[in-house]
Amino acid sequence: MKASELTDLRTARKRAGLSQSQLGKLVGMDQNKISNMENAVRPISKRVSQKFAQHLDADSTELVIANRLAAMEKGAQDEDPCAVLTAAKGVVEIVGDGHLTPEGDDFLDGIVDAASKFAEKSGGAILLGTDKGLEL
């Protein structure tokens, strides 16, 4: 599955015909937290994603990955390397757990692309922990 095919929280919620407040009541959360998760300001945990999945006919792992990929993009736009790398770490952890098998290396390529874009904007280089010490 490619990143563009993932269902994010907002899409799943709207498809279910629920407002943020209605979804919040179903999962025991306030509307503000739902909004922050939809806008990639707040991460979606595996536990919370399972609650969402019960009410939204969505895959809990997809919800988490879509949220963290959006957080990577937001971090890159904000030129915040910590946000990019923290979100990237979350994606790698989820994919590494074997819950979702990416085709080719689409997800990891996205991580490298985000890191590369950040390096270009900052005029610096990012060293990836590989055997060859790949420098971007």
Backbone torsions φ then ψ of 16, nearest 5 degrees: -80, -5
What digits encode the pLDDT tens for the residues 94-135?
Answer: 766 654 445 545 666 666 667 667 666 766 555 444 343 333
Report, in this order, helix, strand and coil percent for the chain, each rounded to 5. 65, 0, 35
Q: What is the pTM of this model?
A: 0.69
What digits encode the pLDDT tens for the residues 25-35?
Answer: 999 999 999 99
The conformation of residue 6, written as its DSSP 8-state character, comes to P
Task: Give the model's confidence band at 53: pLDDT under 50 very low, under 70 low, under 90 confident, else very high.
Answer: very high
Task: Give the model's confidence band at 83: pLDDT under 50 very low, under 70 low, under 90 confident, else very high.
Answer: confident
Domain borders along the chain are 3-122
d(CA 23, CA 34): 8
Give the model's pLDDT for residue 136: 35
Query: Is the model more confident about 89 or about 56?
Result: 56
